[in-house]
Amino acid sequence: MSLKQVLAALSMGLALAGAQAQPATAPDALIKQVSTEVIDSVKGDKAIQAGDVGKIIELVDTKVMPHVNFQRMTASAVGRHWRAATPEQQKRLQDEFKILIVRTYAGALTQVKDQTVQLKPMRAGADDSEVVVRTEVKGKGDPIQLDYRLEKNGTSWRIYDVNVLGVWLVEQYRSSFAQEIGAGGIDGLIAKLAERNKAAATKT
């Protein structure tokens, strides 16, 4: 994937935004585009580098979240209890989990300095509806493995899991979630997530 192709994909995306017959961006092109946008935004913003969580959350909300199926992410971290939860509980779980994840991401972004993202070769059939895109973040020190699971959503692709250094995010939270649900039910988990988010918010 050359820079030219990325730029082409990017401008095509912009030109066709809003148009109904938007062609599907390849999943790896999407990842490359989003990562490049995020890294460039961080590099050009002193406040984000200094760890301004508010600005980082804004960045993530505008650039990354539109490409994430966060409901699927939350549902699979919660596991079979998701089906037993009321719509209201599901929404609250999703909201609190999102804040938790965005803060994780925010913490990682403050470490961004001279990194670039490189795509690894993708093995996927033309009509696969779920793919894994593997990337490596290169900068000072050892490269960092960063992989994504994406699902086809009509004509576009959406991320539903992220792998950092060999650890899938959804699996990482599954047993903590099960533990909280076991102790206090769905509401217990919601309360725990909210408490964590509150504690972190007052600290920063």
Residues near other proteins (CB under 8 A) are: 79-80, 100-101, 103-104, 107-108, 111, 134, 140-143, 145, 165-168, 171-185, 188, 191-193, 195-196, 199-200, 203
Give 32 or 96: the residue with its C-beta nearer to other proteins. 96
The first and second tokens of residue 121, run together, are: 């070769």
The first and second tokens of residue 161, run together, are: 């899991």
Q: Where are the alpha helices (DSSP H) in the chain?
A: 3-16, 27-43, 46-49, 53-59, 70-78, 81-84, 87-109, 169-203
Q: What are the beta bridge partners of residue 149?
A: 132, 161
- Could you tell me the smallest distance in angstroms from the CB atom of residue 179 to other proteins? 4
**For 199, phi and psi rounded to 5 degrees?**
-60, -45
Give 33 or 39: the residue with its C-beta nearer to other proteins. 39
- Could you tell me the smallest distance in angstroms from the CB atom of residue 11 to other proteins? 32
SS3 6: helix
- Could you tell me the smallest distance in angstroms from the CB atom of residue 61 to other proteins? 18
Are the beta carbons of 25 and 156 closer than 8 angstroms?
Answer: yes
- Could you tell me the smallest distance in angstroms from the CB atom of residue 168 to other proteins? 7
Sheet holding 167-168, edge to edge: 116-119, 130-138, 144-153, 156-164, 167-168
Give 41 or 135: the residue with its C-beta nearer to other proteins. 135
Give 33 or 131: the residue with its C-beta nearer to other proteins. 131
SS3 70: helix
Give 69 or 118: the residue with its C-beta nearer to other proteins. 118
Give 47 or 84: the residue with its C-beta nearer to other proteins. 84
- Could you tell me the smallest distance in angstroms from the CB atom of residue 150 to other proteins? 15
- Could you tell me the smallest distance in angstroms from the CB atom of residue 197 to other proteins? 9
* 79 vs 112: CA distance, rounded Å: 33
